[in-house]
């Protein structure tokens, strides 16, 4: 990982100094050990601040929506999940592929600092990945733990760890080792309709309608979101179950067929709503109705919900 950390700085510096790109979007460290956040570098000398470490989880592809404007070319680092998001933005015609240079980073999983904190690992100065282990550097020295135990849930079910879109691949390809991603969905499907209603009503009661899930989502790129339209106001501002349901369920419908399962929605939710379960239900249904389809793998394939085939299943049952 140290090597990649250096490579990132090098390629970024090169592309800026050669004038190939006007901007490099990557990650940089904050003051706290787990803060690795999106960085926007326009000068060669600032590339020294770029980083690649176990906390570079933020999906950068969405920033192209804003940052493309007025620039000839933007370089961006994409992990497996980020590349899927980028492809979806291309498929939705929101990003111009000609104006983007992709540095692909194969990624076998990133660390959820909250999982470390839950086990009492706090006040650290550094966390490094060494093979399958994490080295935790704290006040009392170093300690090694199994990396996979502390990864984001979304990383454990990752099926595309190697970016499917890239101009230059940095680092060695990694092997996908995904756990079953529809396990929770299947549990929910076993519930009766009333039980499921209660389950989601309980979940949504925590929702504070911050819209972090929508704002981070690569499938949510409408120039004017329906939930922001003031006249007519489709989504009221009251904290009511009906409004919460309207927001989450309609958003799930709107991204159905375009959700790349990157899991950013679940990561950013401040009250830990299991949003990926909702989106994965749609993915599972689409797979069953229209055949296996992974959004974001290839921007040229025809997406099932915008394509008509004469042998599409009939919507209504026979009786």
Partner 1 sequence: MKKISKDKLPQLWDRLAQQATLYLPVEEDGVVNFAPWKEGAAVNLDVINTVVPPKQMVLPQSENYLHFRVDGGKLDLEPVDVDGPYVIFGARPCDVAAIAIIDKLFLDEPCDTLYKERREKGTIISLGCNEPEETCFCTAFELEPAFSPDADVSAWDMGEYLLWKAQGEKGEALTKKMEDLLEDAGADAEKAVESLRNNVASKEAAATKEYGWNAQGVKDALEDKFDSEIWDKLYRRCLGCGVCTYICPTCHCFDVQDFSRGQEGLRFRCWDSCMFGDFTLMAHGENPRPTQKERVRQRFMHKLLYYPSNFDVYACVGCGRCVRKCPVSIDITQVIKEVGGVK
- Give, as ranges, the residues between 53 and 72 that touch partner 1 (CB under 8 A): 58, 63, 66-67
Q: How far is the CB of 143 from partner 1 (least distance, A)?
A: 17
Query: Is the Cβ–Cβ distance between 266 and 275 less than 8 Å?
Result: yes
Q: How many CB atoms lie within 10 A of CB 272?
A: 11
The reply on whether position 48 binds partner 1 by CB under 8 A is no
Tell me which of 2, 122, 132, 186 binds partner 1, using CB under 8 A.
122
Residue closer to partner 1 (CB basis): 129 or 267: 267
Note whether 35 binds partner 1 by CB under 8 A. yes
* Contact status: 239 vs partner 1 (CB under 8 A): yes
* Strands 74-78 vs 126-130: parallel, antiparallel or unpaired: unpaired
User: Which residues, listed in sequence order, are joined to residue 137 by a DSSP beta bridge?
Assistant: 126, 142
| DSSP class per residue in 33-87 | TT-EEEEEE-SGGGGGGB---TT--S--GGGHHHHTTT-S-EEEEE-HHHHHHHH
Task: Choose which of 72, 173, 233, 289 interacts with partner 1 (CB under 8 A).
Answer: 233
How many residues at the interface with partner 1, by CB under 8 A?
40
Beta strands in the chain (DSSP E): 23-29, 36-41, 74-78, 100-104, 126-130, 133-138, 141-146, 168-169
* Binding flag, residue 1, partner 1 (CB under 8 A): no
Applying CB under 8 A, does 306 fall inside the site for partner 1?
no
HEC assignment per residue over 1-44: CHHHHHHHHHHHHHHHHCCCCCEEEEEEECCCCCCEEEEEECCH
Residue with Cβ nearer partner 1 (122 or 132): 122
Smallest distance, Å, CB 309 to partner 1? Answer: 37
Instruction: State which residue, 9 or 267, has the beta carbon closest to partner 1.
Output: 267
Q: Measured from the CB of residue 174, what is the shortest distance to partner 1 in angstroms?
A: 25
Can residue 183 be called a binding residue for partner 1 (CB under 8 A)? no
Which CA distances in Å does 147 have to 117, 144, 156, 202, 314?
14, 9, 11, 32, 46
Instruction: Report 197-216 residues binding partner 1 (CB under 8 A).
Output: 202-203, 206, 208-212, 214-216
Binding of partner 1 by 271 (CB under 8 A): yes
User: Which residues within the stretch 149-178 sit at the binding site for partner 1 (CB under 8 A)?
Assistant: none
123 near partner 1, judged by CB under 8 A: yes
Buried/exposed 130-168: b ≥16 CB within 10 Å, e otherwise: eeeebbbeeeeeeeebebeebbbbbbbbbebbbbbbbee
- Vertex 152: Cα angle to 102 and 189 (nearest 5): 110
Candidates 10, 17, 20, 37: give the one binding partner 1 (CB under 8 A): 37
The one segment of 146-154, 179-187, 233-241, 300-308 that binds partner 1 by CB under 8 A: 233-241
The contact set with partner 1 (CB under 8 A) reads: 30-32, 35-40, 58, 63, 66-67, 122-123, 202-203, 206, 208-212, 214-216, 228, 230, 233, 236-240, 264, 267-268, 270-272
């Amino acid at each position: 990982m140290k090597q990649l950390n250096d490579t990132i700085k090098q390629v970024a510096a090169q592309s800026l100094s050669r004038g190939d790109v006007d901007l490099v979007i990557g990650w940089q460290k904050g003051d706290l050990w787990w803060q690795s956040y999106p960085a926007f570098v326009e000068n060669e000398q600032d590339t020294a601040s770029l980083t690649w470490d176990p906390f570079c989880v933020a999906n950068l592809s969405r920033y192209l929506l804003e940052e493309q404007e007025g620039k000839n070319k933007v370089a961006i680092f994409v992990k497996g999940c980020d590349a899927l998001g980028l492809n979806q933005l291309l498929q939705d015609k929101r990003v111009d592929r000609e104006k983007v240079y992709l540095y692909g980073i194969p990624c076998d999983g990133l660390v959820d600092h909250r999982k470390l904190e839950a086990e009492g690992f706090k006040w650290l100065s550094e966390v490094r990945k060494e093979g399958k282990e994490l080295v935790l550097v704290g006040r009392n020295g170093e300690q090694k733990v199994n990396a996979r135990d502390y990864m984001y849930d979304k990383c454990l079910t990752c099926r595309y760890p190697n970016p499917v879109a890239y101009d230059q691949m940095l680092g060695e390809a990694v092997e996908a080792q995904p756990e079953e991603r529809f396990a929770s969905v299947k549990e929910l499907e076993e519930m009766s309709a009333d039980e499921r209603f209660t389950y989601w009503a309980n979940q949504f009661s925590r929702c504070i309608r911050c819209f972090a899930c929508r704002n981070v989502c690569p499938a949510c790129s409408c120039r004017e979101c329906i939930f922001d339209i003031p006249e007519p106001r489709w989504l009221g501002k009251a904290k009511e179950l009906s409004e919460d349901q309207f927001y989450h369920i309609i958003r799930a419908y709107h991204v159905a067929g375009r959700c790349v399962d990157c899991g950013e929605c679940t990561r950013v939710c401040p009250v830990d709503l299991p949003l990926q379960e909702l989106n994965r239900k749609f993915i599972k249904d689409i797979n069953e109705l229209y055949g296996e389809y992974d959004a974001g793998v290839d921007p040229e394939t025809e997406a099932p919900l915008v394509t008509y085939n004469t042998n599409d299943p009939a919507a209504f049952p026979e009786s």
